[in-house]
Structure 1
Amino acid sequence: METSMTDKQIPAHTLSRRSLLRGSVTLGLAAMVGSLAPWQSVLAADDQDFITLSQFLVSRPVNPILAARYYRALSKRAPNFSGNVDALRQLIASQGFKHVDEYLAQPGADASLKATATSIISAWYLGIVGELADAELISYAEALMYSPTHGILAIPTYGGGPDSWGNKPTAKQDFTL
């Protein structure tokens, strides 16, 4: 009777390292793909309309993920925002405007639609939505105000580097006038 390991039959129900590794990789890939799915659900028809309108208003392609974030932030601050986006998009299509300047130059434009257009343009260029007290930062590095000097100047930062703090004040300052 031979007792070597090569002659023994391995039962089918045992877990080999190879099958464990294969299962772990499959599970990891499934989790990673599943985490991307929420962005697809965020990019609904309203968001696609907002992307199209944003591209018209800023005259350049826009990031769809940032567009979804801007849309959500702007919608929170203006209850009629989605209706104004639809109305603005329809107006631009019906008038056949080719550039945002044509829209802005039209006489007698609806003030609420113009305010909506201005808030969208401002959000994309500044990277924030809202005013001082309730401002929401959406994107600092991808704000369009930095695009004219992209590749020439570094985006400004006021930190001294990772984990840096300013110097501790040396003495109390007197603020009496």
Structure 2
Amino acid sequence: MTKGPIRLDVSINYGVPRKGLPAANSFRKWVAAALEGRIREADLAIRVVDNKEGRSLNRHYRGRDYATNVLSFPADMPEGLPEGVRLPLLGDLVICAPVVGREAREQKKALNDHYAHLTVHGTLHLLGWDHEDEREAECMEQLEREILASLGIADPYTED
């Protein structure tokens, strides 16, 4: 765990109309909560997209022909850097606004809370967390619960 303030540069790009979507400051707050105590500095980008762009990216990078809620693209360290040199570039998140909106309605969740959850979830993926097996999924979900609770957001995995 790292102590002290984090240096964070989060670029937010809206590929859809911003009306009804979280403000850039909200995304930055959610990323900071996910990174707190885990990393000292990070640069990342978040792009909020429509179904067409989300589907295209998911098909191209994951071979799945549908739009998904969040895609995480961790930055690969360039070859040839001296040992111990770390770049602050963490990676990119792509969040599909129509999918997030539909899921929030279907799951009866506040839209901002669902965006917060998916931003935290995607950011943890950038840090290397995954949910490929049951044990990994349980650990990652518990960490998400703790981060979201620190933001005053209810457990996203409980059904009302």
Q: Pick the structure with greater CA Rg.
A: 1
Structure 1 or 2: more helix by fraction = 1
TM over 0.5: no
Q: Per the shorter chain, which TM-score range? A: under 0.3
> Whose relative contact order is higher, 1 or 2, with alpha carbons under 8 Å and at least 6 apart?
2
